[in-house]
Amino acid sequence: MAEQAPGVRIGGLTVVYKTPAGELPAVRDVSLTLEPGSITGIVGESGSGKSTLALSLLNAVQPPGRISAGSVEIDGLGNVAALKGEELRKARGRHIGYVFQAAQNSLNPLKTVGKQLLDLGRSHGVEDLRGLVRDAKELLGRMGLDGARVLDSHQHELSGGMRQRVGIMLALVLNAHLVVLDEPTTALDMITQANILKIVREVHAERGLTTLVITHDIGVVAEVADRLAVMYGGRLVEQGPTREVLGSPSHPYTKGLINAIPRLVGDIDEARALPGRPPTLATVPKQGCVFRERCALRMDVCDTVDPEAVAHGPRIVACHAVTVKEHA
Amino acid sequence: MITGTGIVKTFKQRGNVLAGREVRALRGVDFAIPKGGAASFIGESGCGKTTLGRIIAGLESYDEGEVVIDGTAMSGLKPKQRQPHFRKIQMIHQDPYSALNPTRTVHQTLFAPLSLRAKQTGRSKGWIEERAAEVLSLVGLDPGSVLARYPHQLSGGMRQRVVIARALTVDPEMLVADEAVSMIDVSLRLGILALLKDLRERLGVSVLFITHDVATARYIGDDGELYVIYRGQVVERGAVDTVIADPVHPYTQSLLSAIPVLHGLERPGEQPVVPLSSLDATGDDTGCLFASRCPFRGERCDERPLLQVSEGFPQEHACFYPERRSVIARPLSEV
């Protein structure tokens, strides 16, 4: 694989989970392109399918879940959704780095960070383990930590922000150029969060990465991402350049989400809660628009026909009301 | 009215290599929350804000100082005598998933405190059922559909509402909400905040909000007070909007500077403050607690500044070199 930022093309991806009520889609017919060298942010609430989508990039959806349709094309790797066994194991870590949600708890409490680093190296057949340790120290140093000390530490000796940086180091140390960060700053303080986001931006630029950030926090995406994609009920409802989407959201859900953020200045009562609540796997409507129950623009067609994702310039929106307005 | 003066709390580490080492959680904190009022404690994790909240709710002891509830000092009382006073203060925890007993229906959860209440006040069993329905309606739930349900059958937002309903069964005068919305879905958060605000307005319950999210603090009580806590000391205290719009302590300014900017909707503040290093809670205990991280450190900072008012600033602050800085993001629409 080339030593440069790969592009990623997710096409018509559907991921289903087997439940007593049959196979239910957690991600349904999602198409998303990550341009080489870009940072894309996916925003969604719990149950929106954002983490399942991220795992699909590694083809790591665990049973009872499976990818039932679509493809994930990564430059240099081909269709990851079709990879199996040893090939797949090698792609993970080596080409795709993944920083797990709650990195605070994803380290082995019984081993020092250094031992876990060596495990990682051996499992990927790294011959120059000294070089690996050197790279790890350099990366940690780059993120403002004392590399030697951190490698000698167990996870309980590190603060939340330090563990998160260790997670980023482990994702990057094998020289992956595609990095997925799942909720990178959840449970961190404001100041630590700002530090981590700064590190994500800088490391992204310095190492020439393609980065995907998954979060429930629009603020996080606003700080780091070039492009923003909004998920709801397993569907991608809107995507486009971050500033454009935040400045003039099209989809009623995106609008509602932005309106629900309390601000620091201005009339505090302008912030409005969205009515209703997000659907779960079991309550997602089988047909029609997934957002219609909470939507102020609901029309008859929304009950029966799932809105297609339609491109309006760089913006892609899946909403009947928006499509009608654009064509009027 | 609940007040505290000079609250000191020190935790001693036990049972490991650090045994005997002391952690100064609170270093002489004063507070006053009027009846029906609102106050917010903000700061990083480990700053002592949760410990202070737990002391106010009677869940934690303190080493020095005095908590006074409606004119009665708590330190002279025996635990049994304190109980009716602390009953007026109810805590809402961060995690609604672990705050409810998974083996009990909503009805059972509310029945226990209500039947005790009925016994104390000599009311009938019918009153319990009526009151259960009433508190559920107060928190915006439909009693008919939730009473028979178990916690796992409810969403996070609904669970947090049940937790609040349970707190209301004992007719509290104050709710202490510790990060009460941080685990709730974004589109539902505002609903819970609006509920707390609504309870303040309708029932006259005062609300103490503990958070690291400054903007939510504003939503609960824009007429209330904001306490910025750093390493066990209140470093800035004043009206919510004053402290947010015109902070004077460099620590408050760092906290506000760290809030993500919604590019496309907002432009960043002109004078963001970035601390020189990350928090070291075990660091230097002499002088100003923030001095080692402060970009504006001066000669006097080897002394410990006390919370005080100084000329030209409406809020109290603990800094020898107070200065207004424009740190928060402003809406693009505002020119």
* CA dist., res. A86 & res. A94, Å (int): 12
pTM as predicted:
0.90
Q: Which residues of A touch B278 (CB under 8 A)?
A: 144, 159, 161, 191-192, 195
* CA dist., res. A254 & res. B44, Å (int): 30
Q: Which residues of A touch B219 (CB under 8 A)?
A: 262, 268, 271
The pLDDT of residue A161 is 83
A162: confidence class by pLDDT, cuts 50, 70, 90: confident
The pLDDT of residue A2 is 46
The pLDDT of residue B147 is 94
Inter-chain residue contact A246 with B264, CB threshold 8 Å = yes
- Chain B, 206 to 245: residues with Cβ < 8 Å from chain A are 212-216, 218-219, 222, 244-245
Residue A102, pLDDT > 70, answer no
Q: What is the mean pLDDT of residues A177-187?
A: 89
- Choose the closest CB to B264 out of A144, A195, A243: A243
CA distances from B294 to B54, B85, B239, B259, B291 (A): 29, 41, 24, 18, 5
The pLDDT of residue B183 is 81
* CA dist., res. B134 & res. B142, Å (int): 10
The pLDDT of residue A268 is 78
The pLDDT of residue B20 is 67
The pLDDT of residue A267 is 81
The pLDDT of residue B318 is 97
Higher pLDDT, B13 or A103: B13
* CA dist., res. B280 & res. B303, Å (int): 19
Per-residue pLDDT of A226-259, as tens digits, reads 999 999 999 999 999 999 999 999 999 999 999 9
Residue A35, pLDDT > 50, answer yes
Question: Which of B181, B182, B207 has the alpha carbon at shortest distance from B196?
Answer: B207
Is the ipTM above a cut-off of 0.85?
A: yes
* CA dist., res. A107 & res. A117, Å (int): 11
The pLDDT of residue B18 is 59
Amino acid at B59: L
Inter-chain residue contact B263 with A261, CB threshold 8 Å = no
* CA dist., res. B48 & res. A100, Å (int): 29
Separation in Å, CA of A161 to nearest CA in chain B: 9
Residue A150, classed as helix, strand or coil, is helix
Residues of chain B with pLDDT under 70: 15-20, 221-222, 281-284, 335
The pLDDT of residue A316 is 95
Residue A101, pLDDT > 60, answer yes
CA distances from A250 to A319, A325, B119, B267 (A): 9, 11, 56, 21
Residue A328, pLDDT > 90, answer no
The pLDDT of residue A104 is 63
Q: Which residues of B touch A270 (CB under 8 A)?
A: none
